[in-house]
A and B are shown apart, each in its own frame.
Chain A
Amino acid sequence: MSDLQRPGADWELQFVIAGCAEKRMPVEIVGSGSKRGIGRPVDGAVTITTASLRGISLYEPNELVMSARAGTPLSQVESELATRGQMLPFEPIDLGPATGAAHGAQTIGGVFATNMSGARRIQCGAARDHLIGVKGVNGRAELFQLGGRVMKNVTGYDVTRGLAGSWGTLAVMTEVTFKVIPWPETAATVIYLGLPDDLAIELLSTALALPVEVSGAIHLQAPVAARLGHPGLRTMGKSVTALRLENFSSAVAGRKQHLKEMLKVYGKALELDHRESLEFWGELRRLSVMPNRPSLLWRISTKPTTAPKLVAAIKRYMPVEVYYDWGGALIWLEVPAADDASTAEIRRVTAIHGGHATLIRAEPAVRAAVEVFQPLDPGLERLTRGLKAAFDPAGILNPGRMYANL
């Protein structure tokens, strides 16, 4: 069991990291630990948690901005925002239930450190797009503060966003500042049943090209749709293709009519009202259609038009179950467990069709043995090593978490 450190102040964190850097002692960085089962396992002599760095330090609803200490639970951030009718635009996805960790445990720092966004990403942008300021400590034990609390800021390099998605391997964030948006007055969902993947993605692309601001565009293959909570949709035995509209009520009503009119060739649409929509998209946000089980879970970014072909190509090698998000630009792919995580096949197919694949769920021994993140081209690998060395020359922060030997 490694030594657990819970710094409660920036200077304490600096002190702990300085000590580890001096002894070249590897450190595992966690928030609540809800994503510990993702990425390559880290063998740290010391574990630092940001859990004691908590609290909302600034909230200006009229300027759509909030700052919170990195260890603040996401649930606290979201409930504080809700008191003023606001929310995080990018609908951070909760990987806990899919990876065997708790539901609703993640910290706001963990959300930005992993750049995990949900369905609304297609309309509003990713977590990294909304991160505007960061305070943190790097592997040199230097405390730094970059970006700020204003949303238009090009003073110096954009290191703030550069830290998003770095999985604690460059620095430990101690405070994050981010943009928020108002909750829309109403949400509605339009659903088409029984479409094969290629037609479904075509439908989603058609909808996303219309000026109606679709804020969720997903397709669940029939076996995946059978895991939905919604009793009507679960028992249909058909695939589910869903589009979300969010706005004030009369705008949603008008846009929904326009959307259905433009999509009528795809068949008759079902509709979910506001309350049902919240439940439906809430389920997807928890990834509850991809429940924790021994099978592997991959996450593949690609072009929407390519996505069904890429999935069909993988299916030639193994059974697949698929949830398409972001209009087809994101594939959640469940395949049977394998000692090599079927890496060779999945990476080869992804390379042929174009895209980036990340292994999200597998046994620790498997994640330690294979490349979890998309392998880097030589040029990017050199830059990646350079960036790591610039922030963490001793290589003590989450070593090996993203790439072996880094």
Chain B
Amino acid sequence: MTLSRMPEPDRTVLDRSETIIGELVALLGADGVISREEGRRAFEADALTAYRQPPLAVALPRTTEDVSKLLKYCRQAGVKVVPRGAGTSLCGGATPTADSIVIGTSRMNSVLETDFVNRTITVQTGITNLAITDAVSAEGFFYAPDPSSQLACTLGGNLAMNSGGAHCLKYGVTTNNVLGLKMVLMDGEIVEINGPYLDSGGYDFMALVIGSEGQFGIITEATLKIIPRMPFARPVMLGFSSCEAAGQCVAAIIGSGIIPVAIEYMDKPAIAVAEAFAKAGYPLDVEALLIVEVEGFEDEIERLLRAITDIALNFDPQVIEASTSTEHSERIWKGRKAAFGAMGRISDYYCMDGTIPLARLPEVLSRIGEICAEKRLKVANVFHAGDGNLHPLILFNANDPDEAIRAEQAGAEILKLCVAVGGCLTGEHGVGIEKRDLMDIQFSPSDLAVQMRIKSIFDPHWLLNPGKVFPLPAQELSEQSAADRAA
């Protein structure tokens, strides 16, 4: 691919590699530091695998105090730091540079406290997303944000990217489900932001930190809201002969006053791939398939599914199939959940993540088709329709450099389109390296300056997660002016 430029490694840091590794070992012990090449290779990329660069070393702290010692040292020594959870970022959010230390949270994965009466759980941030729900499900609770990578991804990564998931239409994204954070700043100071309390007053640092892509500090502990799980949930599949009809049906459902827990959309190519892999029983002759899930008590579900079906009938549905059992529900979801993996079996793909206003769906999908056709590429669309979050999967052959370049160009065109129709570059994956150079399409210079000044408060020397989020020239300018102020 035409790789985005990464910052030049700092020679003076590379020259001190051995000293730096020695210091890290002194802080954490030999078993807490990975410095041999084959070990570092395991951390050279996240799920945006086009970018690969082993870090100088990897540090694996066990406690908040370990993280504090590490950051304090790195700050004093002028060493850059790349925080990393499970490395599932699709946007290069955890891509290292050669002169950086990766701080991995994998050994900080404990549940510290569950409080069912006050409906909270406090955990270390290296815990996986699914393990949080597992820790509370026996008591009838769950943790709401559910990114598709929830089996592997860590809470730390979810906090960094403000992750969403299929069910955020009803329950919100990460920032709506967190009560308090413990965080280590770049100078080693440990700060607690809010606690197990609601709306404490004072500036909303929690809002600023969640979604800051690991550039403000390292969050080591979090107190989260847990929610009583509804007794039952069931989906209905609705197949349509056009994307317009499907889009209008979604609008009509929401406009009617029903908020389903999820409304997922797949276009014809996505349906075909998912069905071939998962045998979910999807109709292959429709242009668009909706999976609409509702939850509640049995009689409520019956009523809601009937209401949704009645609405759908106004849009000439080709298929209406409501789940009749738990097994049936699982089968319907199996295809959607497997869609990305199934796509990966037939082709390399580039997964985009723009959000658009729902009303613009038909024109956006037809324009996406044109953009990809112009680049001689195939595309399949998977869409969290309830909240406008679009995931076009652009298929390409990674071994064909020309095709890879065309895929990246098509992706950029699609994201520009999302912004042009009133949407945004990324709905839940984050900016990372991938969308960094597109930021000035969505933001004016003063919009970016407002954001970069906040970065400089938390990390005056711009050592945390370098090369991400902002166009590189703007970063270098901020870095320089911050250094000048500090001098």
List the interface of chain A (C-beta within 8 A of B).
Answer: 60-64, 84-85, 115, 117, 121, 125-126, 128-129, 138, 142-146, 148-166, 170, 181-183, 185, 205, 208-211, 247-248, 250-251, 254-255, 258, 301-305, 326, 329-330, 354-356, 358, 373-374, 376-377, 379-380, 383-384, 386-387, 390-391, 402
Contacts and interface: CB of A to CB of B under 8 A. Distances in A.
B446 A142 contact: yes
Interface centre among B388, B428, B455 (most CB of A within 10 A): B388
A154 B432 CA distance: 11
B318 interface: no
A376 B203 CA distance: 10
Interface centre among A160, A358, A373, A387 (most CB of B within 10 A): A387
B297 A255 contact: yes
B118 A304 contact: yes
15 contacts: A62-B254, A63-B359, A150-B427, A157-B455, A208-B119, A209-B117, A209-B140, A250-B300, A258-B297, A303-B196, A304-B118, A329-B198, A356-B197, A387-B205, A390-B456
B450 A376 contact: no
Nearest to B208: A162
B355 interface: yes
The 10 A-B residue pairs with the shortest CB-CB distance, nearest first, are A161-B207, A386-B457, A182-B257, A62-B251, A379-B191, A152-B427, A356-B200, A390-B453, A301-B197, A150-B355
Interface centre among B203, B357, B429 (most CB of A within 10 A): B203
B193 interface: yes
Contact of B424 (A150, A330, A379, A387): A150
B241 to A, nearest CB: 21
A225 to B, nearest CB: 23
Contact of B300 (A150, A254, A374, A386): A254
A62 B360 CA distance: 12
Interface centre among A152, A161, A170 (most CB of B within 10 A): A152
B387 A145 contact: no
Interface of B: 115-119, 140-141, 161-162, 164, 168, 172-173, 175-176, 185, 189-193, 195-205, 207-208, 210-212, 228-231, 251-252, 254-259, 296-297, 299-300, 303, 355-359, 384, 387-389, 422-431, 435, 439, 442-444, 446-451, 453-458, 469
Contacts of A160: 207
B388 A383 contact: no
B168 A301 contact: no
Contacts of B116: 209
A402 B357 CA distance: 37
Contacts of A157: 208, 211-212, 451, 454-455, 469
B388 A301 contact: no
A247 B295 CA distance: 13
A301 B118 contact: no
A153 B252 contact: no
Contact of B388 (A146, A150, A356, A386): A150
B200 A301 contact: yes
A327 to B, nearest CB: 8
Given A145-B444, A150-B424, A387 B457 contact: yes
Nearest to B211: A158
B61 to A, nearest CB: 19
Contacts of A383: 191, 203, 205, 457-458
A87 B198 CA distance: 22
Nearest to A403: B202
Given A126-B199, A144-B446, A383-B457, A159 B118 contact: no
Nearest to A133: B424
Contact of B423 (A143, A148, A166): A148
A172 to B, nearest CB: 13
Given A144-B447, A153-B424, A181-B259, 10 more contacts: A145-B447, A148-B355, A149-B357, A152-B428, A156-B469, A205-B117, A208-B228, A248-B303, A383-B191, A384-B203
Contacts of B230: 211
B191 to A, nearest CB: 4
A402 B201 CA distance: 10
Nearest to A208: B119
A150 B254 contact: no
B433 to A, nearest CB: 14
Contacts of B208: 157-159, 161-162, 387
A63 B358 contact: yes
B439 A250 contact: no
Contacts of B255: 61-62, 84
A63 B357 contact: yes
B170 to A, nearest CB: 10
Given A128-B204, A154-B430, A159-B451, A117 B199 contact: yes
A333 to B, nearest CB: 15
Contact of A330 (B141, B198, B388, B458): B198
A330 B435 CA distance: 41
A161 B199 CA distance: 12
A205 B118 contact: yes
B387 A152 contact: yes
Contact of A144 (B296, B356, B450): B450
A208 B228 CA distance: 8
B450 A138 contact: yes
A21 B256 CA distance: 49
Contacts of A358: 201
A155 B469 CA distance: 8
Contacts of A208: 119, 228
Given A158-B208, A251-B296, A183 B257 contact: yes
Given A152-B173, A390-B453, A211 B447 contact: no
Contacts of B168: 152
Contacts of B388: 63, 150-152
A63 B387 CA distance: 8
A84 to B, nearest CB: 8
A183 B119 CA distance: 26
B436 to A, nearest CB: 10
A291 to B, nearest CB: 23
B451 A380 contact: no
Contact of B197 (A138, A355, A387): A355
A266 to B, nearest CB: 16
Contact of A356 (B201, B205, B453): B201
A301 B199 CA distance: 7
A121 B117 contact: no
A124 to B, nearest CB: 9
B358 A211 contact: no
A63 B185 CA distance: 38
Given A144-B446, A205-B118, A150 B423 contact: yes
Contacts of A150: 355-357, 387-389, 422-424, 427
A318 B201 CA distance: 25
Nearest to B231: A211
B439 A162 contact: no
A346 to B, nearest CB: 14
A30 B328 CA distance: 56
B197 A165 contact: no
A400 to B, nearest CB: 15
Given A153-B355, A162-B203, A182-B259, A329 B429 contact: no
B202 A376 contact: yes
Nearest to A170: B203
A199 to B, nearest CB: 13
A329 B161 CA distance: 28
A3 to B, nearest CB: 26
Nearest to B435: A155
Contacts of A379: 185, 189-191
B447 A254 contact: no
A211 B229 contact: yes
A355 B197 CA distance: 7
B292 to A, nearest CB: 15
